[in-house]
Structure 1
Amino acid sequence: MATSPTRKQVTHDRILQTAARAIRRGGYGGVGVADIMKEAGLTHGGFYAHFPSRDAMLAAAIERAGQENAERLSRHNAEQARLGVHPLRTLVESYLSEAHLATPERGCPVAALLSEMPRQAVPVRDASRVRVRALMQRVHQAMPDATVEQARAVAATLVGALQMARALGGAEGKAVLAACRQTLLDQYTLSPQRRST
């Protein structure tokens, strides 16, 4: 029989959800304990009942962000698989979509945070590496006939394209997404289908 979560568990989850959105929206450096607690509707003083430090919260937040993104992608993949869409096509079109471009706070934490990862404290760097490896693994699962090196190259292209598109913004950013989307689909000879934006 399932038990209801405790009040502390519910509060902990609210902090993590808030932090997971905040790091993708504003980067690691843009996330302060007081701001997270305020956004979560909690007092600053209650933070240390849940995390020993800001870095511990950031490490947990990137893990949560990765889990949320993986769950979203898995649901989308399952829907597309039922329609007979190749898993790599689904991944490429979803990752390099205009919706993902416009909503970093709900998207892939690797694309949102990659350039900041090497400069973080060890626990945050370690948690970040786990997310990068998970993305590469997801890409490899979508292209099982490819080598590990090819999957890594595709993963790097996805992340780099999204980062460049966000940096450029507007029509120019969308053009980068479209070009990379088309190039990846052409390179891996996926049959033509209607492409999402």
Structure 2
Amino acid sequence: MGHSQAQKQANHDRIVEAAVGLFRERGLGGIGVAEVMRAAGLTHGGFYSHFESRDALVAEALAKAFAVDERRLEKAMAKTGKPAKPAMLEAYLTPIHRDNPAIGCTAAALVADIARGGAQARAIFTEQMRRYADRVAAVLPKDSPTAQADALFAFSALVGALLIARAVDDPALSDAVLESARRNLTKAIA
């Protein structure tokens, strides 16, 4: 790769990184190309030399964000020093995660936007949902005939609890939502 190609790739990566943070923080609909480019430290005019459309940027940003989420969850689980299932619940259902959507789970930050979004974003989310379900199923007992269904339930409950904890304006209620979800998911997916 020549210097100009290397620089173009670096700029491309900066655009995607900027989009990931902005999308997680404020949603897919409220962020325009000009704002993403500004956040990346680049001019609006250069956008189309990197992406054919805003939807192409959204798709690439989602794929990048989900990959980062998986690595981040693995690290957080390892830090707890607990077995996989309680580690996952403890790593996901935290006040820090609740309070920082820009660096948290992409699914929780964007699921409503993706549901209303284009086919490409929904396809990426569908594939990621399958990966999440497989990841959750991997921490459940191997002999369970309902492991996949339990994993879908657990992931849905994790995201739902996080969203509700973010939405309420009472800090004590928000903490109670997280604690209740941790406790009940621990029992429900034994």
Asked if these proteins are the same fold (TM beyond 0.5), I'd say yes
Residue identity matched to 1:129 = T
Pairing partner for 2:84 from 73, 84, 87: 87
1:136 equivalenced with 2:137 (yes/no): no
Amino acid at match of 1:33: V
State the match for 2:149 in structure 1: 149
Question: Matches of 2:123 and 2:131 in 1, distance apart?
Answer: 13
Matched, 1:118 2:100: no
Task: Give % identity.
Answer: 36
SS of the aligned residue for 1:28 comes to coil
CA distance in 1, matches of 2:6, 2:74: 28
SS in 2 for 1:6: helix
- What is the distance in 1 between the residues matched to 2:71 and 2:44? 30
Mapping 1:54-69, distance limit 5 Å: 54-69=54-69
Task: Identify the residue that residue 180 of structure 1 maps to in structure 2.
Answer: 181
Amino acid of the structure 2 residue aligned with 1:117: I
Give the counterpart letter for 1:95 in structure 2. Y
Aligned-pair CA distance for 1:102? 0.6
CA distance in structure 1 between the partners assigned to 2:59 and 2:33 by the alignment: 13
Unaligned 5+ runs, structure 2:
none
The reply to whether residue 22 of structure 1 matches residue 22 of structure 2 is yes
**Kept after mapping to 2: 8 A contact 1:14/1:40:** yes
What amino acid maps onto 1:16 in structure 2?
A: V
Give the TM-score normalised by the residue count of structure 2: 0.90
5+ residue gaps, structure 1, are: 190-197
Tell me the amino acid that sits aligned with residue 150 of structure 1.
Answer: D
Question: 1:59–1:128: 8 Å Cα contact kept in structure 2?
Answer: no
